[in-house]
């Protein structure tokens, strides 16, 4: 017998420089066996996701058709893949992969939908792989009532996606006008509906109904003819077979036990997940420095006037900041300048002069691009911002 979960609302959160970022986590639907672990919908403006590892799951990135820009993915396969508006990139992380994602062109907003999908335990050891579908190749179903449904994964109304993940998964991007029905194949499947805009009435028979408003999610379990209706709405349907196994999520890893996660971390630190090759670096002559104990007898306090940030994963999320500061000396003099500072996962600050380093030139490029976009170079030596 099919049944609904409680209706929940996505949660706004801060990530990178994204605007209007919202998140859903599987535990929000309580005891429901969710087809996904989490999803994020966000608008990326410039900085993206620096290199980070995943293992034990699948991840897909979908760019909505209204995305202004494309997304560039680089991974440890190694591959460099461009995802255009309306396209989807599926990652079989499984035994482990490192990747990064960034807007392809600074200044063009990327409307991104990123989803973590649980993977059966017996497939955790599979090698990593990627699959892609371009927007022009996505099958489109057009119900008699109007609107359209993009069949990104799985099948619907005689349309079948060319992508075939290791485990069945259905992903429909629905522009709803009027009503239509989605048939969930058996009691061994669970699904979820995510409403992006409009108001949607959902009926699964037996008098069971739900109403979704923007940014609301509902889960549906069991064999059902799911009827959805609206004058005008945009929603996402995701479904997959149930997995009867424990789920432990830690950082970028999703496994069945803490032991599996610890083993994946060891592989990562030993280089077993490969690497995302940095862009060629510009080698500069060795910087002059003042030997320890010979510093001038001055104390200085940096006052941060502007800051740009990217994130790096290493046993937790670190933040690398580029800061424009006013330096106030104890002899009443002041100066202005720039510095890089690491912030550790506990919020502690570690200036680069104290032994920190930047592992990838890409991080510095992203930070400088943010500063350029925000016009830092147009207002040097000013405190008026």
For the whole model, what pTM was predicted? 0.73
Q: Do the Cβ atoms of 189 and 226 come closer than 8 Å?
A: no
Q: Are residues 78 and 162 both part of a single domain?
A: yes
For residues 205 and 341, state if they share a domain.
Answer: no
Contact between 192 and 224 under an 8 Å Cβ cutoff? The reply is no
pLDDT in tens, the chain (385 residues): 788 888 999 998 776 555 678 999 988 988 788 889 999 999 887 667 778 899 999 999 999 999 999 998 999 988 889 999 999 999 999 999 999 888 888 778 899 999 999 999 999 999 999 999 999 999 999 887 788 999 999 999 999 999 999 999 999 999 999 999 999 888 899 999 999 999 999 999 888 899 999 999 999 998 889 999 999 999 999 999 999 999 999 989 999 999 999 999 999 888 899 888 655 433 333 333 444 454 556 677 888 888 888 777 666 677 888 888 888 887 778 888 888 888 888 888 877 755 567 877 767 877 887 777 777 754 443 333 3
Q: Are residues 40 and 114 in the same domain?
A: yes
pLDDT at 58: 97
| Strands 248-250 vs 129-133: parallel, antiparallel or unpaired | unpaired
If one counts every other C-beta atom within 10 angstroms of the C-beta of residue 385, the result is 10
Instruction: Write out the residue range of the structural domain in which residue 349 sits.
Output: 300-378
Q: Is residue 282 part of a domain?
A: no
Q: What is the pLDDT of residue 97?
A: 94
Pair 58, 155 in one domain: yes
The answer to whether residues 94 and 166 belong to one domain is: yes
Domain closes at, from 252, 269, 286? 269
Residue 278 lies in a domain: no
Rounded to whole angstroms, the Cα distance separating 101 from 80 reads 10
CB-based contact 189:240 (threshold 8 Å): yes
Does 352 map to a domain?
yes
Report the distance separating Cα 256 and Cα 41, nearest Å. Answer: 26
Domain assignment of residue 294, yes or no? no
> For residue 207, what is the domain's CATH number?
2.60.120.10
Decide if 108 contacts 76 (C-beta within 8 A): no
Same domain, 248 and 364: no
Q: Are residues 312 and 261 in the same domain?
A: no
Query: Does one domain contain both 124 and 237?
Result: yes
Number of domains in the chain: 2
Q: Same domain, yes or no, for 261 and 126?
A: yes
Specify the residue for token string 């429909």.
172
One domain for residues 244 and 336 = no
Residue 286 forms part of a structural domain = no
Beta-bridged to residue 89, according to DSSP, are 61, 132
Q: Is residue 288 part of a domain?
A: no
Residue 295 located in a structural domain: no
Is 357 found in the same domain as 222? no
> Is the N-terminal amide bond of 78 cis, ω within 30° of 0?
yes
Strands 224-241 and 170-184, by their bridges, are antiparallel
| Domain assignment of residue 274, yes or no | no
211 and 252 housed in the same domain: yes
């Amino acid at each position: 017998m099919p049944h609904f979960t409680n209706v929940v609302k996505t949660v706004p959160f801060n990530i990178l420089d994204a605007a209007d970022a919202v998140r859903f986590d599987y535990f929000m639907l309580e005891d429901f066996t969710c087809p996904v672990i989490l999803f994020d919908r966000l608008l990326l403006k410039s900085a993206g996701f620096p290199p980070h590892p995943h293992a034990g799951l699948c991840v897909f990135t979908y760019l909505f058709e209204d995305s202004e820009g494309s997304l560039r993915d680089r991974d440890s396969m190694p591959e460099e893949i461009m995802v255009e508006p309306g396209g989807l990139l599926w990652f079989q992380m499984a035994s482990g992969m490192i990747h990064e994602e960034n807007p392809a062109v600074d200044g063009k907003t990327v409307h991104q939908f990123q989803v973590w999908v649980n993977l059966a335990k017996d497939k955790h050891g599979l090698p990593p792989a990627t699959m892609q579908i371009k927007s022009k190749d996505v099958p489109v179903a057009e119900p008699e009532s109007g609107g359209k449904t993009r069949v990104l994964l799985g099948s619907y109304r005689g349309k079948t996606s060319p992508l075939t993940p290791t485990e069945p998964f259905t992903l429909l991007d629905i522009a709803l006008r009027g009503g239509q029905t989605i048939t969930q194949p058996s009691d061994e499947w669970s699904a979820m509906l995510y409403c992006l805009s409009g108001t949607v009435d959902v009926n699964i028979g037996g008098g069971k109904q739900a109403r979704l408003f923007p940014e609301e999610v509902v889960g549906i379990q069991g064999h059902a003819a799911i009827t959805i209706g609206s004058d005008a709405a945009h929603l996402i349907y995701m479904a997959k077979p149930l997995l009867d196994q424990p789920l432990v999520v830690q950082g970028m890893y999703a496994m069945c036990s803490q032991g599996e996660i610890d083993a994946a971390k060891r592989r990562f630190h030993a280089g077993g997940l490969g690497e995302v090759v940095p862009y060629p670096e510009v080698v500069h002559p060795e910087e002059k420095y003042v030997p320890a104990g010979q510093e001038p007898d001055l104390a200085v306090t940096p006052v941060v006037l502007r800051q740009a940030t990217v994130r790096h994963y290493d046993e937790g999320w670190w933040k690398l900041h580029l800061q424009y500061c006013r330096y106030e000396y104890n002899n009443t003099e002041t100066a202005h300048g720039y510095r890089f500072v690491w912030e550790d996962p506990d919020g502690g600050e570690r200036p680069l002069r104290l032994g920190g380093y930047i592992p990838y030139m890409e991080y510095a490029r992203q930070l400088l691009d943010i500063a350029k976009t925000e016009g830092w170079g147009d207002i040097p030596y000013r405190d008026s911002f």
